[in-house]
């Protein structure tokens, strides 16, 4: 493969956001190109005139960039492109007459024909096939229309489509790089529409023309396209072109074994980004959906996926999308971040939670970093450390009831407040706070837990959180005193 210049593409339809299945397909094409020093192309297939939108196209561009799937050729935005095989947006290619040229050639040479059947006639055809327990496919009635019949239909105002004339006999087969040899009997295939009545090409027609003209060597896509492949191979044959190699990726299922959908939670890349997943996590996790190394490696360092990926490691069986594993993996990658990296990533999530990062006397980077071991999502950060940046904190009712309402707590908080007041502000550091608190517990005959727990709830509003004395140091003496005083107002 090293001797052949690899060219692969990701060709999404801009009818919505980039979803998990599409992102996985894009990633595998990207990794395959990187592994063999090939070219990764992004082509926009907007032949669905009614559902394609500029907003969806832009969303796809943004999600690809966020995942780090940089393409070598293709559409960069609606107007800008890079590469010598453009346009890379199908609607622009249609405007140039690229598809019409090949459709006309196929009609002229007897490989395609004009079909004037109405939606009502096609529906009647389907119903008849169902009654006769036959596959509901077009019956070919327009294959041999005379010129006179065509003119009569056009006088009626019928607008034709152009259908491909599928061979009636024989078998279409190919060696799929994941599934092995796949075969389809031609008499079970159908005369698919190449050009719609609107003049727009269909998916099966346009992608073959584009893949050939853009010199694709490999087509890596989801296995929901397996049924399209024999149609496309016959089109390649009719045009006298060599078909590229095909590799069909396994389906992605939800944890319940059904096809991944919105009922399983977030399905678009943008939703995961907003929830606080790292792009490296998504890239790593998507790679494991239907592919693995021989030693089942789970976590990959930067550049490792590009080095280790191979189609041989792709599985035929469906992949299970596990949100629990994804969150675990995100936590693992968060813990690999430096203090500075974590802080930069936390900023937008803190701002979205209306947290003013300037409301602290200590370095906010230290505060964000203090709970690093507990973060699974970047969106966890405001919830876990937000109380450091607020004048008024919310007290968790359960923690108040279980901890602050206990016997002797009022006396303990009043007395420990005096201990903290006696510590000079410049000495209000973790080690000194801990020494003084432990000394107080021992001298007054309290268990450490009798003092530590009420202090924690009083200064943070909750029973769980960062290491107590480091937390108090970061809160600073003034804030600790104020919060203990506030807690004393509702302690029994």
- Counting the structural domains of the chain, the total is 3
Say if residue 104 is in the same domain as residue 244. yes
Say if residue 457 is in the same domain as residue 323. no
Helix (H, G, I), strand (E, B) or coil at 173: strand
Residue 67 within any structural domain of the chain: no
The CA-atom distances, in angstroms, between 163 and each of 47, 107, 416 are 16, 9, 86
- DSSP code per residue over 161-173: EEEE---SSSEEE
Cα–Cα distance, 455 to 453 (Å, whole number) = 5
**Domain assignment of residue 367, given as a range:** 269-386
Say if residue 295 is in the same domain as residue 344. yes
Say if residue 310 is in the same domain as residue 231. no
Residues 6 or more apart from 380 whose CB is under 8 A from it?
Answer: 276, 374
pLDDT confidence of residue 266: 67
40: part of which helix (H) or strand (E)?
strand 39-42
Residue 22 within any structural domain of the chain: no
Cα–Cα distance, 13 to 44 (Å, whole number) = 6
> From the first residue on, what is the mean pLDDT of each consecutive set of 10 residues in the chain (492 residues)?
81 94 97 97 91 93 96 92 95 94 97 95 90 86 92 93 96 97 95 95 97 98 96 98 98 86 77 96 97 94 94 94 95 97 97 92 95 97 95 91 91 95 95 97 94 96 95 96 93 72
**C-alpha closest to that of 87 among 99, 101, 70, 102:** 99
pLDDT confidence of residue 137: 86
Say if residue 156 is in the same domain as residue 133. yes
Say if residue 102 is in the same domain as residue 218. yes
Cα–Cα distance, 267 to 113 (Å, whole number) = 40
pLDDT confidence of residue 375: 97
pLDDT confidence of residue 3: 56
Residue 80 within any structural domain of the chain: no
Residue 112 within any structural domain of the chain: yes
Helix (H, G, I), strand (E, B) or coil at 249: strand
Residues 6 or more apart from 390 whose CB is under 8 A from it?
Answer: 355, 359
Two tokens, residue 285: 């996790």
Which residue in the block uniquely carries the two structure tokens 């009922």?
Answer: 263
**Residues forming the active site:** 262
For residues 389 and 349, is the Cβ–Cβ distance under 8 A? no
pTM of this structure: 0.92
**C-alpha closest to that of 249 among 28, 23, 7, 12:** 28
Show which of 216, 249, 282 is a domain's final residue. Answer: 249
Residue 86 within any structural domain of the chain: no
Cα–Cα distance, 397 to 399 (Å, whole number) = 6
Show which of 386, 418, 439 is a domain's final residue. Answer: 386
CA atoms in the 13 A half-sphere facing the CB of 17? 13
């Amino acid at each position: 493969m090293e001797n052949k210049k690899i060219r692969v593409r990701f060709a999404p339809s801009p009818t919505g956001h980039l979803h998990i299945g599409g992102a996985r397909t894009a990633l595998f094409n990207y990794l395959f190109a990187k592994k063999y020093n090939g070219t990764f192309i992004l082509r926009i297939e907007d032949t669905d005139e009614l559902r394609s939108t500029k907003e969806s196209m832009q969303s796809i561009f943004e999600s690809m960039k966020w995942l780090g799937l940089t393409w070598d050729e293709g559409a960069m935005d609606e107007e800008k492109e890079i590469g010598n095989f453009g346009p890379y947006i199908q609607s622009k290619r249609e405007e140039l007459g690229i598809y019409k040229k090949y459709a006309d050639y196929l009609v002229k040479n007897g490989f395609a024909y004009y079909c004037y059947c109405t939606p009502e006639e096609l529906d009647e055809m389907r119903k008849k096939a169902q009654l006769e327990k036959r596959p509901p496919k077009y019956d070919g009635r327009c294959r041999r229309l005379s010129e006179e019949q065509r003119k009569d239909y056009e006088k009626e105002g019928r607008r034709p489509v152009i259908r491909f004339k599928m061979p009636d006999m024989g078998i279409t087969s190919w060696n799929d790089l994941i599934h092995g040899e796949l075969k389809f009997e031609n008499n079970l295939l159908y005369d698919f529409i190449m050009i719609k009545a609107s003049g727009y090409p269909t998916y099966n027609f346009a992608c073959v023309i584009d893949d050939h003209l853009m010199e694709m060597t490999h087509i890596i896509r989801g296995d929901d396209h397996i049924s399209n492949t024999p149609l496309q191979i016959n089109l390649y044959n009719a045009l006298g072109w060599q078909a590229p190699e095909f590799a069909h990726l396994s389906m992605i299922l939800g944890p319940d074994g059904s096809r991944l959908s919105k009922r399983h939670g977030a399905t678009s890349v943008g939703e995961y980004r907003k929830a606080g997943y790292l792009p490296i996590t998504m890239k790593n996790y998507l790679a494991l959906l239907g592919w693995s190394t021989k030693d089942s490696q789970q976590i990959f360092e930067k550049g490792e996926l590009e080095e280790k990926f191979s189609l041989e490691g792709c599985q035929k069986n469906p992949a299970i999308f596990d949100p629990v594993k994804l969150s675990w993996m995100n936590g693992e990658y968060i813990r690999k971040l430096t203090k500075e990296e974590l802080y930069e990533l936390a900023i937008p999530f803190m701002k979205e939670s209306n947290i003013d990062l300037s409301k602290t006397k200590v370095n906010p980077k230290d505060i964000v970093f203090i709970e690093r071991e507990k973060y699974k999502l970047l969106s966890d950060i405001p919830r876990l450390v937000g109380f450091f940046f607020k004048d008024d904190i919310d007290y968790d009712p359960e923690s108040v009831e279980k901890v602050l309402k206990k016997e002797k707590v009022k006396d303990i908080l009043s007395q420990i407040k005096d201990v903290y007041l006696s510590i000079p502000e410049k000495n209000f550091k973790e080690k000194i706070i801990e020494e003084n608190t432990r000394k107080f517990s021992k001298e007054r005959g309290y268990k450490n837990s009798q003092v530590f727990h009420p202090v924690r709830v009083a200064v943070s509003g909750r029973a769980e959180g960062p290491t107590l004395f480091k937390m108090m140091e970061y809160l600073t003496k003034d804030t600790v005193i104020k919060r203990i005083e506030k807690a004393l107002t509702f302690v029994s």
